């Protein structure tokens, strides 16, 4: 069953219990109303009517007795009024006692009517007739005997009515107690049903949800190995199955990550070993290779100076080749060593003034700048955070490229910077031969050259070293699109030395 079905079932049970309690309450209330109506609408008015009937008969008896003694007609007024009242009281009493539970009082009414008729026929009317015509009336003892019998019948009627009232009152009390019991029982049944429904929903819905939440928290805290056992309604079971599927995927991914981590650790060890070998090679290159290379360069230069022009032209050419090769080999080794040191030699990262870096770079290239007639211009350059020596090499390589690939005069290279979030965006623009856009990535690859060594000298490491230094500082460098022959424009970013808010202020 689904959660909705469980809720619908519990609501249906509660509604059924409430309906049963309401029905029982209506029945009890109806019974109470019947008992109250019998007592207040029939028995109590019947008692009043019976009292009126008794008073009417007493008035008739008093009127006849007075008439018999005095013989005056006005003494019959109570008799006549009593007859009218008797008729009305008998009608009311008969109508009020027309109920199946009041059979005895109805019998009493008939007996009272019979005895009253007997008294009137056998005594009252003969007395009135005899006095009117002047005869001797029947003896009073006979009338008294007849009326005493009527009194006894009236007393029996009153006693039966009182008994009926007592019984009706007891029935009313029982009906009230029954109604109270029904209400209390219905309330207890509703409360018990709500409690049972709550416990059922807790057992069926809340408990599986809590168990699933506990398992999910275990998965969240890293307990991936324990499988989930979803239970409960359909939606909770489906949710648990989905979480179990997620856990299985996480287990698989964690296992894959562990394997990858092991492989990565192995690669890191291999890389460390390779770096150690590379450092050893760099040591060998900077010492063992440099020494014989210096000897070759020195002796070939001595040959060139001492025997230049003394041998034939071919020998001079060979000597020139040897000298040039030795020099280029030295330059290449030095550039490779510098390239390999980037990021391995941990110099302090601190605040540096890029204007000072540009000035130092230009000073190192002062001879080449003077001979080429290159003009270096710069706007106000900001401070950045970095390694002063490495960043000076960036400016030096960019100026060297501008000198090497200069075009027609005037020769000029410009530097300026602008803020770009947490970085400063630097631009280096020259007026040289430029670079086509399709070679924008190739020029930053080590040993990649767009021209032959005869056209432009160099080792092809300068821009690759610039990229490595810039990326080491967390920035990037790229070639901006430009028209061929209109110079080259390089952009690179370096982290700012102060927050952007301070700079904006």
Domain assignment present for 222: no
Give the DSSP letter of residue 212.
H
DSSP symbols for 365-384: THHHHHHHT-EEEE-PPPEE
First-to-final CA distance of the chain: 65
pLDDT reported for residue 460: 67
260 in the same domain as 164: no
pLDDT in tens, 384-395: 988 888 899 899
The better pLDDT of the pair 430, 294 is held by 430
pLDDT reported for residue 484: 60
371 in the same domain as 332: no
Question: Residue 288: pLDDT above 80?
Answer: no
Domain assignment present for 278: yes
pLDDT reported for residue 502: 44
437 in the same domain as 489: yes
Average pLDDT, the chain: 80
pLDDT reported for residue 92: 84
Question: Residue 345: pLDDT above 60?
Answer: no
The answer to whether residues 472 and 342 touch, using CB atoms and an 8 Å cutoff, is: yes
**Residues spanned by the domain of 247:** 229-341
371 in the same domain as 274: no
* Global confidence as pTM: 0.44
What is the tally of structural domains in the chain? 3
pLDDT in tens, 267-281: 888 877 776 666 676
Domain assignment present for 217: no
Q: Where among 282, 308, 341 does a domain terminate?
A: 341
253 in the same domain as 201: no
Banded model confidence at residue 503, pLDDT cuts 50, 70, 90: very low
Domain assignment present for 223: no
The answer to whether residues 439 and 402 touch, using CB atoms and an 8 Å cutoff, is: no
38 in the same domain as 88: yes
250 in the same domain as 168: no
pLDDT reported for residue 344: 61
pLDDT reported for residue 258: 83
353 in the same domain as 494: yes
369 in the same domain as 244: no
The mean-pLDDT minimum among 128-132, 263-267, 316-320, 424-428 falls in: 316-320
pLDDT in tens, 426-469: 998 888 777 766 666 777 776 655 554 554 555 667 788 888 88
pLDDT reported for residue 448: 59
Quick one: CA torsion of 147, 59, 68, 138, rounded to 10 degrees?
Answer: -20
279 in the same domain as 156: no
Place of tokens 């015509």: 133
79 in the same domain as 28: yes
Domain assignment present for 23: yes
CATH number of the domain residue 474 falls in: 3.30.565.10
Q: Where among 323, 341, 359 does a domain terminate?
A: 341
pLDDT reported for residue 138: 82
119 in the same domain as 266: no
Q: Average pLDDT of 209-236?
A: 73
pLDDT reported for residue 492: 92
pLDDT reported for residue 505: 38
Q: Where among 206, 240, 255 does a domain terminate?
A: 206
């Amino acid at each position: 069953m689904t959660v909705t079905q469980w809720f619908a079932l519990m609501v249906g049970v509660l509604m059924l219990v409430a309906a049963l309690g309401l029905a029982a309450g209506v029945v009890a209330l109806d019974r109470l109303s019947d008992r109250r109506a019998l007592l207040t609408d029939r028995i109590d008015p019947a008692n009043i009517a019976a009292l009126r009937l008794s008073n009417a008969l007493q008035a008739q008896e008093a009127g006849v007795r007075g008439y018999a003694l005095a013989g005056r007609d006005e003494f019959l007024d109570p008799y006549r009024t009593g007859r009218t009242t008797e008729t009305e009281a008998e009608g009311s009493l008969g109508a009020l006692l027309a109920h199946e539970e009041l059979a005895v009082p109805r019998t009493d009414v008939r007996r009272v009517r019979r005895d009253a008729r007997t008294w009137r026929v056998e005594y009252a009317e003969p007395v009135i007739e005899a006095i009117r015509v002047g005869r001797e009336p029947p003896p009073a003892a006979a009338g008294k005997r007849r009326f005493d019998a009527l009194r006894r019948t009236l007393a029996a009627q009153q006693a039966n009515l009182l008994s009926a009232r007592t019984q009706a009152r007891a029935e009313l009390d029982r009906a009230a107690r029954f109604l109270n019991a029904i209400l209390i029982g219905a309330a207890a049944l509703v409360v018990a049903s709500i409690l049972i429904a709550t416990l059922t929903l807790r057992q069926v819905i809340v408990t599986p949800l809590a168990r699933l939440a506990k398992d999910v928290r275990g998965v969240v805290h890293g307990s991936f190995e324990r499988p989930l056992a979803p239970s409960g309604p359909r939606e909770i079971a489906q949710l648990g199955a989905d979480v179990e599927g997620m856990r299985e995927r996480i287990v698989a991914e964690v296992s894959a990550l562990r394997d990858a981590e092991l492989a990565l650790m192995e690669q890191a060890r291999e890389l460390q070993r390779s770096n150690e070998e590379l450092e050893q090679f760099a040591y060998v290159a900077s010492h063992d290779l440099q020494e014989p290379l210096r000897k070759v360069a020195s002796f070939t230069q001595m040959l060139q100076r001492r025997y230049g022009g003394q041998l034939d032209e071919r020998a001079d050419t060979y000597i020139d080749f040897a000298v040039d090769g030795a020099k280029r080999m030295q330059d290449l080794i030095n550039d490779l060593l510098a390239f390999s040191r980037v990021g391995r030699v941990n110099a302090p990262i601190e605040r540096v003034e890029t204007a000072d870096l540009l000035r130092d770079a230009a000073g190192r290239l002062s001879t080449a700048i003077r001979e080429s007639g290159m003009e270096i211009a710069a706007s106000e350059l900001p401070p950045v955070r970095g390694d002063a020596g490495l960043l000076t090499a960036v400016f030096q390589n960019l100026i060297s490229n501008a000198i090497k690939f200069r075009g027609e005069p005037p020769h000029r290279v410009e530097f300026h910077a602008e803020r770009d979030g947490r970085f400063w965006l630097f631009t280096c623009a020259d007026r040289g031969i430029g670079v086509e856009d399709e070679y924008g990535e190739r020029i930053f690859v080590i040993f990649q050259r767009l021209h032959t060594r005869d056209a432009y000298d160099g080792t092809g490491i300068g821009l690759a070293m610039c990229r490595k230094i810039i990326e080491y500082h967390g920035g990037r460098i790229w070639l901006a699109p430009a028209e061929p022959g209109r110079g080259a424009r390089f952009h690179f970013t370096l982290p700012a030395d102060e927050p952007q808010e301070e700079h904006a202020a």
